[in-house]
A and B are shown apart, each in its own frame.
Chain A
């Protein structure tokens, strides 16, 4: 088992090395060697009431864990039909040879019981089949209707234990839900779990809304709205529903993001044909101007330590990526490849910047180091932009559009995710067309 854990880490290491070696347009695809995992159904102990039995969470929790792990591309889930041992017996102590026989390398088992005051106790164990040992065991307490959240937390624990990386399953995605014809698109803010479940619409669609982004605690969202036909940046508390205008600017404010401490909003302000970058302190309302250049300066994104800012500027004549210190000094261009570069977003790990690139009429999502070296393109398409990082910095979400015909039909925006390695590209199903996704941090990190 140790060997397999090492192998996953080793693969990450290799790919990271490769990242820095490649410079030109190169899209690597293929499959890693996913880890065979057996996820047993959980079992309900005798404390469970008839009402809770109806939820059949003993099957749904493992199913959700399995969905999470297989979508990561790092795991291969074995068919439940092939399992020989019953869930309760396996949870106590599995007969390792039975699981080794079906080629499982790790096994997940679990038990659900009811505590006083109606709280659910969900415990799980992770077993190493090869070395016949228990790798970890944990219990979560929650209300029965919160079983999805618990499933995500367990998924993160398994991912962490087996890859040595932080997980990202207990997180949410905010995006813009799109409906209606292209010339009169209705756009609403929507939020959902990272697996696409439990969508909630936060605005009604009466006004155009764009580019929502989570605060570090995921309690607030900053976005742009055309409320009363005045395009401005807003701050929304998604728990209370209260929203505020950000600053008192005599023109369009746009492209907002939070500072990593959540205290400031950084954005562009456009006036007299010129867009510059500003910050506003949310509490004191103090506004600071960071760039002062007659070109377009937009799409600012802080480094996770808050010391630097990446942004988009056409001061060279075309859209390129620049970085500067957080006080606006030391402006330095970092993108020098062929084509146009936009939407820089700093990885939560701090080492990489994700971007959108337009080259020869194709759009690419790519990454480069913060000094501009090691540019690597992950995916090429007709149109795609706006990458946003998963909390562990291993996966990117973005949106992709298809071309429409002469009547405006056929086009549409969808959310996609891709691993930093360039592997495991996946469509994320949404009820409506969707764009401008932004990944939250880990909810449990609050």
Chain B
């Protein structure tokens, strides 16, 4: 009886460990260099509870789950304010060549734009501009500043 119970516990533990290993492994393969900023420093708000920017990992333009959540809020806000137009400003950190960073900024801003479009915002309400590494939000030369500078910022144009 006791042995049976112990067996069950061991089985449960094994399953937990196995699942745990799976989760870790999956995380490791999908986001190998996940150094995207997750804090709120430098963040401004389009409206109460609607952050104006999303952050990216080094050299990446895929949206993190936090970025998608922010953009979902932005989409809801834009839906509620149908006369509002925005420009998405794409940026890169200073640790890359200027021309590549211009392209990377455009790719990041477009990733954010596409998310808004797929959430029902008309494409003609959204413009895109890339500043590459030209306009850092945080001018320091350290990993924190660079993570805050790898961003796409939604700015109201009217």
Contact = CB atoms under 8 A, between A and B. Distances in A.
B129 A229 contact: yes
Contacts of A296: 100, 103-104, 107
Contacts of B130: 231, 252, 270
A312 interface: yes
Nearest to A267: B99
A200 interface: no
A24 interface: no
Nearest to B87: A229
B100 A319 contact: yes
Given A183-B135, A272-B110, A408-B140, A255 B102 contact: yes
A270 B114 CA distance: 15
Interface stretch (B4-12, B19-27, B90-98): B90-98
Nearest to A435: B98
A181 interface: yes
A182 B134 contact: no
Classify chain B's interface size. 20 to 34
Interface in A268-323: 268, 270, 272-275, 296, 298-299, 312, 314, 318-319
Interface stretch (A5-13, A91-99, A214-222, A397-405): A397-405
Contacts of B107: 270, 273-275, 296
B141 A211 contact: no
B134 A210 contact: yes
A406 B103 CA distance: 27
B139 A182 contact: yes
A386 B98 contact: yes
Interface in A329-355: 342-343
Contact of B99 (A184, A185, A255, A403): A255
Nearest to B107: A273
B154 to A, nearest CB: 16
B46 interface: no
18 contacts: A185-B134, A210-B134, A252-B106, A268-B102, A270-B103, A296-B107, A298-B103, A312-B99, A314-B59, A342-B97, A343-B97, A343-B99, A358-B97, A383-B94, A385-B97, A401-B94, A405-B140, A407-B139
6 nearest CB pairs, A to B = A408-B139, A273-B110, A403-B141, A182-B139, A342-B97, A275-B103
Interface of B: 59, 61, 94-100, 102-104, 106-107, 110-111, 114, 128-131, 134-142, 145
